[in-house]
Amino acid sequence: MKRILTIMLNGDPMPQLLMHIIRFVMPSKSKPLKKLLYLYYEICPKLDAQGKLKQEMILVCNGIRMDLQHANEYIRGNTLRFLCKLREPELIEPLLAPARACLEHRHSYVRKNAVFAIASIFTHSEHLMPDAPELLLAFLEGESDGTCKRNAFAALMSVSHERALEYLSGVFEGIPNASELLQLVELEFIRKDAVQNQQNKSRYLRLIFDLLEAKESTVVYEAASSLTALTNNPVAVKAAAGKFIELAIKESDNNVKLIVLEKVNQLRQANPGVLDDLTMEILRVLSSPDLDVRRKSLELAMEMVSSKNVEEVVMLLKKELAKTVDEQYEKNNEYRSLLIHSIHSCAIKFSEIAQSVVGLLMDFISDFNNASAVDVISFVKEVVERFPKMRSSIVERIVQTLAEVRAGKVYRGSLWIVGEYSLEEKDIREAWKRIRASLGEIPIVASEARLLEEQPDSEVPLPDTQVNGHAKPSEKTGSRKVLADGTYATESALTSQASAKAKLDAVKAAQKPPLRQLILEGDFYLATVLSSTLTKLVMRHSEISGDKARTNALRAEAMLIMISIIRAGQSQFVKAPIDEDSVDRIMSCVRSLAEFAQKKDLETAFLDDTRKAFRDMVQVEERKRKEKEDVLKARQAIQVDDVVSIRQLSKKNTMDGAAEEIELDLEKATGGDSATEDLSSKLSRVVQLTGFSDPVYAEAYVQVHQFDIILDVLLVNQTRETLQNLSVEFATLGDLKVVERPTTQNLAPLDFLNVQATIKVSSTDTGVIFGNVVYDGASSEDSTVVILNDVHVDIMDYIQPANCSETQFRTMWTEFEWENKVNINTKMPEGKGLRDFLQRLMKVTNMSCLTPEASLEGDCQFLSANLYARSVFGEDALANLSVEKEGEKGPVTGFMRIRSRSQGLALSLGSLKGLNKIGELTV
């Protein structure tokens, strides 16, 4: 039976089997077989070629009637469920009496299925059972089982709105004490009835307010959803949002938490300012250990922060931040980063709390790990640029923390702030003193060499070498030495080298000031930042102070420090030798210090241009934030010529916008909200599957709908014979799955036919759809197979441009292990430069450019940019473009490195057809 059902579901009706199944399967008493039998009845053809009921179905009808009177309640229930799917009145009519009798059966399983069967019969064949609403109403009034009452009310609601309203009015006062299932279906009815009968709305709202206090979470959720659908009153909206937040705190399922938080977010967007008082309640959700839930609640809370509650919010975030230092959570570092970003956004929006926030974060900087401390420094850099009044106090605080910092990135950021914003003489002197203390004794090489000499000689035992189980006598090679007691001592070259290495390792491992330690460990990028900072401090001191002797002393000391760092980088005391770029940068600082008095341009470059570059970067970030907000506002904006809905003046049967949620969900599910494509775009999606000389010509229109691919296949019979049992069979490679197959058809000579197949897509990995057309000839034994061309899934349908910060990009670039390096060699049209190439590349790959516009201004012979996109499945795709153009008419050459977490996405993006034909595109 299972094999027969599978074959039939794949499109072969197998009409010849009906009589055999009636003879051999229908009399069986096996319950699993009985279940399969009713599945067969559901899908088998019940009408003949003339559209009349087959004679065999009389026997089937008799079997169904006997099962409706069966002693076993589960067979009765299963038969009643089948009755809901029966549409032929001739079959249903003899079954009416036993179906009615089932309403009075002793077992609830039979009764709860019987009410749905009655409703289905009334819906599709009203003349067979015209009294169904009265029957269901009478059943409801006499029924005591909760599930049966729920099913009966749902059935009554579907067949007669008036009768359902009559019943609801009779039991209205008892609804708060009804069972959970009944409350849910009654709430569904109330939402629909409130649209049709506005006069009942006030009493419905009172009832829903009572149901908000129900014990069951499902009832509370539905009541809150119904309340917001029926009214936009601020009190009601706030009450519903409060209940949603309670559910987010109380429920253990993380999916439930995310769903109800999204509900609150929708309420916030629809009712600006109404929910601001609930910000602290939303932050209670942070008690959940799940990072996604915490992220969602923080994002929501940050949108609701106002000047009234910002201090409370920041205080709570401070406590959470302290917990991440004292306690260990799962994904502790990511949570800490979320908190820092939230505090950051609060401080930028509300300058009055920026001072206390900066102080707090600076207190934690030594406790934080590298990534969190870098986030803090980035935040401090932005604050110190935005709020000039706070510069002096922030610089003073940073200078005090220099001795506690242990991470190179944090030290770099701190030194940059000190060099950029130490604007007074006392600040410069204090910063200089702290930097010198953190650097230790200068020159570095001389002091380290002295430490090496002071190290006591350590005896390094040689490893014993055994020969046949006996120790091999050591060979006394080397120079003889007379000890204090007059005896000779032997010192081998091996002992001498090991001793020297041990002494050097001891010097390297010795405790050193933090800045000196980082430089000796090979962080020469930090050394270049230190050189730049010292240069800025000397130049600014020269600018604001008249003490020339002091300036010259600082200049000399700065030069000594820089040369000492270069010497140290070339000595044995560092873990890795200094690179040429760092030497060039440090030497340029030395030359600038020597010449800045004569060349004022150097002073401008160090003191003004670097600040201006950072200011421009902050403004770009602010512009991006504002553009994002403007896009969100534009979505919610009401145009000047939009219709204004005034409920008091509208027709009674007009549906309120808020009550259309179910219809909107249905529209989304069926793709009604998707953007319409133009004709040329549709034609580009038509794929030829067979050749013109094949007996069956086939072509498919490939339509992408969210996570599904729908193949609309046109089949043309090019022969002068009827093609029997013609079927199109599809199979897939990759993360694709055929979920709906075309049915088997007969195709007349020179006729055509449209069939559809649905394929589910689960990732952006490269997928291929292949298949064939199979049909029978004059005799059923002669089958012909026509192979179809492969259809390749276009991943561009699933890739969308996205944005992320530079820090996030760098973090992901480091984490992602799959890289695809694509060589680029293409010719651009005359007059088009590398900027045009970048625009075309972004169009081909659906990626957005993260490199600031200021960095791409002008035109030159080379270009480097970072690109980012995200798939609809949540996969990140990063790309780094590096190209050059030789001359005005030369080709664009270079490469693009694509990284992602999965191999498939990186390879798919790199193998795009248009990647090497970008110059031929029109933008």
DSSP string of 532-564, one letter each residue: HHHHHHHHHHHHH---HHHHHHHHHHHHHHHHH
CA distance 401 to 411: 10
Residues 842, 807, single domain; the answer is: yes
Q: Is 599 left (phi over 0), alpha (psi -120 to 50) or beta?
A: beta
pLDDT at 670: 55
CA distance 156 to 175: 17
Residues 741, 774, single domain; the answer is: yes
Cβ atoms of residues 515 and 410 within 8 Å: no
Residues 876, 819, single domain; the answer is: yes
Q: Is 603 left (phi over 0), alpha (psi -120 to 50) or beta?
A: alpha
Gyration radius of the chain's alpha carbons? 39
pLDDT at 722: 85
CA distance 408 to 377: 12
CB atoms under 10 Å from CB of 640, counted, come to 5
Terminus-to-terminus CA distance in the chain, angstroms? 59
Query: Is residue 643 included in any domain, yes or no?
Result: no
For residue 49, CA distances in Å to 4, 15, 45, 381, 442 come to: 22, 11, 10, 81, 103
Q: What backbone phi and psi angles, to 5 degrees, belong to 875?
A: -85, 135
Query: Is residue 747 included in any domain, yes or no?
Result: yes
Residue 379 CB burial class (10 angstroms; 0-12, 13-18, ≥19): buried
CA distance 453 to 402: 30
Query: Is residue 751 included in any domain, yes or no?
Result: yes
Cβ atoms of residues 702 and 687 within 8 Å: yes
Domain region containing 874: 796-920
pLDDT at 698: 93
Domain of 760, CATH number, reads 2.60.40.1480
Residues 604, 524, single domain; the answer is: yes
3 state SS of 758: strand
pLDDT at 574: 81
Residues 727, 846, single domain; the answer is: no
pLDDT at 697: 93
Element (H, E) at 891: none
Residue 474 CB burial class (10 angstroms; 0-12, 13-18, ≥19): exposed
- Number of folded domains that form the chain: 3
pLDDT at 671: 52
pLDDT at 18: 87
For residue 445, CA distances in Å to 440, 515, 566 come to: 12, 15, 10
Cβ atoms of residues 102 and 80 within 8 Å: yes
Residues 520, 564, single domain; the answer is: yes
The tokens describing 546, both together, are: 């008249």
Final residue of a domain: which of 752, 773, 793? Answer: 793
Residues 690, 589, single domain; the answer is: no
CA distance 835 to 922: 14
pLDDT at 468: 42
Residue 798 CB burial class (10 angstroms; 0-12, 13-18, ≥19): buried
CA distance 573 to 520: 7
Cβ within 8 Å of residue 69, ≥6 positions away: 76, 98, 101
Cβ atoms of residues 396 and 430 within 8 Å: yes
CB atoms under 10 Å from CB of 141, counted, come to 12
Query: Is residue 359 included in any domain, yes or no?
Result: no
The tokens describing 351, both together, are: 């300058």
Q: SS3 sequence, 188-218?
A: HHHHHHHHHCHHHHHHHHHHHHHHCCCCCHH
Residues 749, 833, single domain; the answer is: no
Residues 814, 898, single domain; the answer is: yes
Query: Is residue 746 included in any domain, yes or no?
Result: yes
Residues 693, 788, single domain; the answer is: yes
Final residue of a domain: which of 746, 764, 793? Answer: 793
pLDDT at 838: 87
pTM of the predicted model as reported, rounded to 2 decimal places:
0.70
DSSP state, residue 457:
P
Residue 271 amino acid letter: N
3 state SS of 517: helix
For residue 352, CA distances in Å to 383, 390, 499, 625 come to: 12, 11, 61, 21
Cβ atoms of residues 237 and 209 within 8 Å: no
Dihedral of the CA atoms 445, 446, 450, 453 (nearest 10)?
60
Burial profile 478-499: b = 16 or more Cβ within 10 angstroms, e = fewer: eeeeeeeeeeeeeeeeeeeebb
Cβ within 8 Å of residue 857, ≥6 positions away: none
Cα-to-chain-centroid distance, residue 214: 34
Cβ within 8 Å of residue 699, ≥6 positions away: 686, 687, 688, 689, 690, 713, 714
CA distance 144 to 148: 8
User: Mean pLDDT, consecutive 10-residue segments, the chain of 923 residues?
Assistant: 85 84 89 90 85 86 90 90 89 90 91 92 89 90 88 90 88 86 88 83 87 88 88 88 90 89 88 85 88 90 86 87 74 81 83 77 68 77 82 83 79 86 86 85 77 60 42 46 62 57 66 80 87 90 84 89 88 83 90 83 82 82 76 70 65 47 56 50 79 91 81 91 88 84 85 89 78 80 86 78 83 87 83 82 87 74 89 86 84 89 79 59 46
Query: Is residue 446 included in any domain, yes or no?
Result: yes
Query: Is residue 587 included in any domain, yes or no?
Result: yes
Residues 777, 866, single domain; the answer is: no
Residues 519, 616, single domain; the answer is: yes
The tokens describing 375, both together, are: 């986030």
The tokens describing 883, both together, are: 């190209």
The tokens describing 853, both together, are: 């516009």
DSSP assignment of 308-353:
TTHHHHHHHHHHHHHHHHHS--TTHHHHHHHHHHHHHHHHHH-GGG
Query: Is residue 122 included in any domain, yes or no?
Result: no
Final residue of a domain: which of 744, 764, 793? Answer: 793
